[in-house]
Amino acid sequence: MKKRIAVLASGRGSNFQAVIEAIAAGRIPASCVALITDNPKAYAIERAQRAEVPVVVLDYASFTSKAEYELALLDAMQRQEADLFVLAGYMRILGVAIVQAFPHKIVNIHPALLPGFTGLHAQRQAVAYGVKVAGCTVHFVDENLDCGPIILQKCVPVREDDDEESLAERILVEEHTCYPEAVRLFCEDRLVIAGRIVRIR
């Protein structure tokens, strides 16, 4: 039976596009039931409309507090009855109540090889630190920032003339293959979580 996935995005949604293209091509046994966004100007909305994916806009600026927004977000997520929530450039940290409501049902992609370079501007951190290899990580979301169990990682070399932008572009190419692959493995029930370890059946 096909899984139901919903995507949360705040911006251009290129990873959202990669996932819905993989679904359309039959590579992921799922249907995308919603795009949820906190930004009414997100380009991801256009991508969703082209793919006929329903859009839920929760304009963060229209809420009086983060707590009020998160209550609305939790309600919107619960209404999707999704098997998996995919964070695709969603630029807000999910509150503990939301994470705990969907244990091992939320995944994120981070443009670094975790556990290194968490948080914002991971590519800038990698260049500044002088690492020779960077990449991206798909992981389950838990209560701590960029800390959940790791599903997949892809590597790219860091070149001597790299800056934040050039490294980010090269990592993004890998993100667009890595994220759909991780979503596929989840939808095929091939991920087994044992503590911090994710095993692929």
CATH of the domain at 138: 3.40.50.170
| pTM over the 0.85 mark | yes
Q: Per-residue pLDDT averaged across 96-105, rounded? A: 97
Instruction: Classify residue 193 as exposed, middle or buried by CB count within 10 Å of its CB (0-12, 13-18, 19+).
Output: middle
* pLDDT tens-digit readout, 45-79: 999 999 999 999 999 999 999 999 999 999 999 99
Q: Count the neighbouring beta carbons within 10 Å of the beta carbon of residue 96.
A: 12
Dihedral of alpha carbons 149, 152, 157, 158, sign: negative
- Residue 116 DSSP label: S
**Structural domain boundaries enclosing 101:** 3-200
Q: Using 50, 70 and 90 to split pLDDT, how confident is the model at 1?
A: confident
Mean of the per-residue pLDDT values of the chain: 97
For residue 83 the two structure tokens come to 């098997």
**List 110, 121, 139, 176, catalytic entry:** 110
Q: Per-residue pLDDT averaged across 152-176, rounded? A: 98
Q: Per-residue pLDDT averaged across 8-30, rounded? A: 98
- Integer Cα distance of 65 and 61 in angstroms: 9
Q: Is 110 assigned a catalytic role? A: yes
Based on the structure, what is the number of domains in the chain?
Answer: 1
Q: Per-residue pLDDT averaged across 144-164, rounded? A: 97
